[in-house]
Amino acid sequence: MENNAETPTFVTPQGRRIAYRLTDGAGPTVVFLGGFKSDMGGTKAVFLEKWARDSGRAFLRFDYSGHGESSAAFTDGSIGDWFEDACAALGMIAGPLVLVGSSMGGWISLLVARQMPERIAGLVTIAAAPDFTEDSMWAGFSDAQREELETAGQVALPSEYGDPYIITKRLITEGRDRLVLRDPLPLPFPVRFLQGTADADVDMSVALRLLDHATGPDMRLTLVDGADHRFSDDSCLDLIVASVTDVLERAMG
């Protein structure tokens, strides 16, 4: 993560201080929504920002509360909190938006699209992880882990990206109010779902379920053979840009 004391911030209606980077340019504004315990200094976010700057496109990246340079502890957060952070960040922008949601950011972007479809010109997801707190975490917990979550209020899960993930009871229970794969999910704009076949964190079946569940006039799923969850090698980054460009062109007629 870039360490820059001059990173601008704003305060959400809920009182959380959110760090962000906004690049001026032509609309629709492209907005990157990052993943669980990631930050806006990640490879995909920075790559997209450079592409946006080079092409004169407005672009926003930001850190959810408890992530990166934003305020609050990660373990205090929940899907609903991070959705509220995203809505507050989007409130800084006038005009239409193209959302690019990575992993958990895919879930957040679907929540945003459901909340304010009139503002969304297009959507690109990268290894989207909708409903993962319920369908992946809770469903995968052993009886002992579920009991620990109930009694201790949290459970630690190993992570290949560094320190263990501390999963709180609130993350699981609050997530149940934010599920998107149980009710109709209209996406009335161009949508591109991107998914790697070697993703060890989000199975291909999730992408197929999302494509089958959502409804819209222009939805496509691209599977990339051998790509992992990071989806950050040169060919994957180029595919993300191509997908964003495609959505922009279609949105703008």
For 30-40, the pLDDT digits (tens) are 999 999 999 99
Instruction: Give yes or no for residue 1 having a pLDDT over 50.
Output: no
> Which pair of structure tokens corresponds to residue 63?
């850190």
Enumerate the β-bridge partners of residue 194. Answer: 126, 222
What number is the average pLDDT over the span 6-10? 94
In the chain, % of residues over pLDDT 70: 98
pLDDT tens string 103-143: 999 999 999 999 999 999 999 999 999 999 999 999 999 99
Taking a C-beta distance cutoff of 8 angstroms, is the pair 188, 159 a contact? no
Q: Which range is least confidently modeled, 7-21, 153-167, 223-237? A: 153-167
Q: Residue 7 carries which DSSP code?
A: -
CA nearest 127: which of 110, 102, 109? 102
Question: Average per-residue pLDDT in the chain?
Answer: 95
pLDDT tens string 54-75: 999 999 999 999 999 999 999 9
The single residue listed with the structure tokens 């909190």 is 81
Helix axes 79-90, 104-115, angle to 10 degrees: 60
pLDDT category of residue 252 using cuts at 50, 70 and 90: confident
Backbone angles phi, psi at 186, to 5 degrees: -75, 135
CA dihedral 81, 86, 92, 94 (to 10 degrees): -140
pLDDT tens string 144-191: 999 999 999 999 988 777 788 899 999 999 999 999 999 999 999 999
> Which pair of structure tokens corresponds to residue 68?
């990166």
Instruction: Give yes or no for residue 4 having a pLDDT over 80.
Output: no
* pLDDT at residue number 165: 86
In the chain, the amino acid numbered 156 is A
Contacts of 6 (CB under 8 A, 6+ apart): none
**15 φψ region: left (φ > 0), alpha (ψ -120 to 50), beta (else):** left
pTM given for the model:
0.95
